[in-house]
Amino acid sequence: MNQLVLTHHSEHAQRHLKCCHLCEHHCGNDRSNGVRGKCHATDEVRVFRHRVEWGEEPELVPSHLFYTSGCDLRCKFCIAEENAFNPRIGTPLTSEFLQTAIAWGRTQGAKNLQWVGGEPTIHLPGILKAMREIVDLPDIVWKSDFYATTDALDLLNGIAKYYVADFKFGNNRCASEIAGVPRYVETVTRNLKHVQARGTLIVRHLLLPSHFDCCFLPLVDWISENLPDVRFSLRDGYLPKWQAKHHPLLHGFITKKEAAAAKDLARSRGLRLV
């Protein structure tokens, strides 16, 4: 990674703390003065968990994941539950903490550093600032809901080697009802195209119960038409966490049969399944 690029992007990112346009909510709030946007985050980044994991896509493992608290979405099924939505949870991110944690991760075999959330993009200024001070930074994996602005994604150009995009919904009605965000499909699809040539892009989709026709099908069709060469990571391990436990359509599970049908359909559309 080019240190000059990291320094430049880090300095450029700080202005979002005065007038935040990192995500498509465009709150414009002065987070440096404690004014919280839809993500509820100020200028402080907190890490609520970090660990070296082997459950990621094969080309990424073993990956050292840093989970930041706070998110711009409000997915009712979020597996991280309160950790994802409360940016006050966790250890404040400092370059000293990050340097020590990276060193520990290396002893565990980690071959990259992966930022996850919550949603790490809302913390781009703080994350870039912390990374600037790190000597011998590992490859960076950016795992995101891709509800970012293109301006935010540009701050990762030349820094992130891998992008893991969580493409959750295939239509705006479901995105609005389940995650509480408008203009979801046009935002995510725009962003996928925006970064596709900037690194290795992996598109993930977690199958949701009762959302095969409305979400999975249009999503697969869009990818096959627009990003036919992208790596597609289809996840069938849905668990009804957080508010989904009591949701009429989200409280169930994905059956083996449904998972197999989804994989067959993705293959029939020519997608490159991970």
Partner 1 sequence: MDAEEETSVTELEIMPDGRIFVFGASGQVLEILSLLQSPTDPTVASRLCGESHSLLDAISRSHPKPPTDPEKRDCNSDILG
Q: Whose structure tokens read 């962003």?
A: 191
Contact 167, 192 (CB under 8 A): yes
For position 107 contacting partner 1 by CB under 8 A, the verdict is: yes
Q: Of residues 17, 101, 201, 262, which one binds partner 1 by CB under 8 A?
A: 101
Nearer Cβ to partner 1 (79/214): 79
Q: What is the Cβ-side half-sphere exposure of residue 154, based on CA atoms within 13 angstroms?
A: 9
- Contact between 273 and partner 1 per CB under 8 A: no
How many of the chain's residues bind partner 1 (CB under 8 A)? 31
Q: Quote the strand ranges of the chain, DSSP E.
A: 46-53, 63-68, 91-92, 112-116, 139-144, 160-166, 200-206, 231-235, 272-273
Of 18 and 272, nearer to partner 1 (C-beta) is 272
In the shown chain, the binding pattern of residues 226 to 245 toward partner 1, with x for contact by CB under 8 A and - for none, equals -----------x-x------
Applying CB under 8 A, which of residues 8, 27, 97, 180 lies at the interface with partner 1? 97
103 binds partner 1 (CB under 8 A): yes
- The contact pattern for partner 1, residues 109-148, with x = CB under 8 A and - = no contact, is x-x-------------------------------------
Query: Within positions 143 to 202, which residues make up the interface with partner 1, using CB under 8 A?
Result: none
Question: Residue 202 forms beta bridges with which residues?
Answer: 164, 231
Q: How many CB atoms lie within 10 A of CB 86?
A: 17
* Minimum CB distance to partner 1 smaller for 66 or for 184: 66
What residues between 27 and 56 interact with partner 1 by CB under 8 A?
47-55
- Indicate the burial class of 186 (C-beta count within 10 angstroms; 0-12, 13-18, 19 or more): exposed
Minimum gap (Å) between residue 255 Cβ and partner 1: 7
Provide, rounded to whole angstroms, the least separation between the CB of residue 66 and partner 1: 10
Q: Which residues pair with 148 in a beta bridge?
A: 23
- Both tokens of 187, joined, read 């935002």
Binds partner 1 by CB under 8 A, chosen from 3, 15, 33, 104: 104
Applying the rule CB under 8 A, the residues between 52 and 91 that interact with partner 1 are: 52-55, 58-59, 61-62, 65, 79, 90-91
- Do residues 114 and 63 touch, judged by C-beta distance below 8 A? yes
Rounded CA-CA distance 247/144 in Å is 25
Q: Quick check: 140 and 161 in contact, CB under 8 A?
A: yes
Pairing of strands 63-68, 91-92: unpaired
Positive or negative, the Cα torsion across 158, 90, 100, 54? negative
Residues that bind partner 1 (CB under 8 A): 47-55, 58-59, 61-62, 65, 79, 90-91, 97, 100-101, 103-104, 107-109, 111, 237, 239, 253, 255-256
